[in-house]
Amino acid sequence: MPPFSPWADDTGAQKGVGPLIPPLPDLLRPLRQQVFERVRAAGLIARVQVAKELGVSPATITTLTADLIESGLIEEVAAPRDGDPARPDAGRGRPAVQLGVRASAHLVAGMKVSDGENTAVIVDFAGNLLADVSYPHALGAMNLPALLATMETLLDRVCEKAGLARSQLSAVGLGVPGFVDIEQGVVLWSSILSLRNVPLAQAASARLGLPVHIDNDANMVALTELWFGGGRSIADFAVVTMEHGVGMGLVLGHRIFRGSQRVGMELGHTKVQLDGALCRCGQRGCLEAYIADYALAREATTALNWDHKDGQSLTVLLESLYDQAKAGNTIAKSIFRRAGRYLAVGLSNVINLFNPALIILSGERMRYDYLYAEETLAEMENLVIATGRPRPPIEIHAWGDLLWAHGAAALALSQTTESILASLGRDIAAQ
């Protein structure tokens, strides 16, 4: 009997080795989509430059852009002439033509419903902001009908501000806190929902009469940076958000990484203490349970004997804590210091696991500079593995409440674009 070999099947036949890579058409984005994305990312770009960047012939680009122009997705824009008076011939001849996205082709809305603030934006197909709204939202979990009513009110408010009918939108992107399966459109758990495993995308689409795409709110912030912010030219970066919870969005190869089941990157629910503090998710010892706003409030109530402040809002209580720390209260400062140490643990784990080119800290809690003080960053340095190489830079980005909604709009733009281009490809193939 021949010895067992992992390279042979039960009959002894050679099985082959190496990763089973899908055929290239399944692995790469269609060239038409790559052309459109180049135009959208550039704002305005010449055909010859698109051909150069994609490494294809100018004739191929001419054919593909003709399809995109005919479909109303992009348009030709006359490049501004050189007005140099020293060159009298500058205005002669045929004007140069560049390509740009036809902004009016589609409009989308991006929304975030959260524990404390509801925000929404409407952008055109080129990503230009047309309108935004933001207003406080009472804390607490809702049932599905209440959440749908909240979403409808939010969408109607931003549409009214933009002077648009809801029917003029092509899609809605929605960010919610918690564990979200973007592919199935299901919220597995969220602090704003009283039930688990809620098919929110389907229910919201039926209520609003529009395609609705949902994702975790931390991914919304990563999308904001990827589409509109400091991550546009960076292939691999991480965004850590701190508000009512702690989240992370990870970008690998210019794309959001969500894990095989679309619910990964939950930094706030990595465990930092066995049998530790109770987290909102129902488990104990989560990172979030030590640095989120409800964790700071819990520590303040206990350490400062603030039981009499039970009726105050979380925001007011945290502002009081921060004011006390700034005024020199040793206990208040130690509460932020302890939370900062746990943040250092979380950030060092991100670096040790993924080694991103950049870490962006974002969210309302970034106002509390004690959390990312020099002591915190120094402690993080000690926890990062010693490779002899510099650690990734850490930046603080304070977009404000609307950053979440911008990311949701980017999600809606992305999903709408892919659907339209896929349909366009089928139509052309059938001709």
What is the mean pLDDT, run by run of 10 residues, along the chain of 431 residues? 54 62 64 93 94 94 95 89 52 74 97 89 96 85 94 97 97 94 94 94 98 94 91 92 88 90 87 92 93 87 74 78 88 90 94 94 75 81 90 82 91 94 70 52
**pLDDT for position 186:** 96
* Radius of gyration from C-alpha coordinates of the chain: 25
| Amino acid (1-letter code) at residue 95 | P
Beta bridge partners of 367: none
Q: Which residues contact 395 (CB under 8 A, 6 or more apart)?
A: 230, 358, 359, 360, 361
**Bridge partner list, 242:** 246
Interatomic CA distance for residues 163 and 133, integer angstroms: 13
- The Cα–Cα gap between 372 and 396 comes to 9
Residue 31 phi, psi (nearest 5)? -60, -35
| 244: its two tokens | 């009512």
- Strand, helix or coil for residue 73: coil
Asked if 390 and 425 touch (Cβ cutoff 8 Å), the reply is no
**pLDDT of res. 3:** 55
What's the pLDDT score for residue 90?
52
What structural domains and CATH numbers belong to the chain?
Answer: 24-80+92-101 (1.10.10.10), 106-222+404-425 (3.30.420.40), 229-400 (3.30.420.40)
Q: Which of 353, 346, 362 is nearest to 406 (CA)?
A: 362
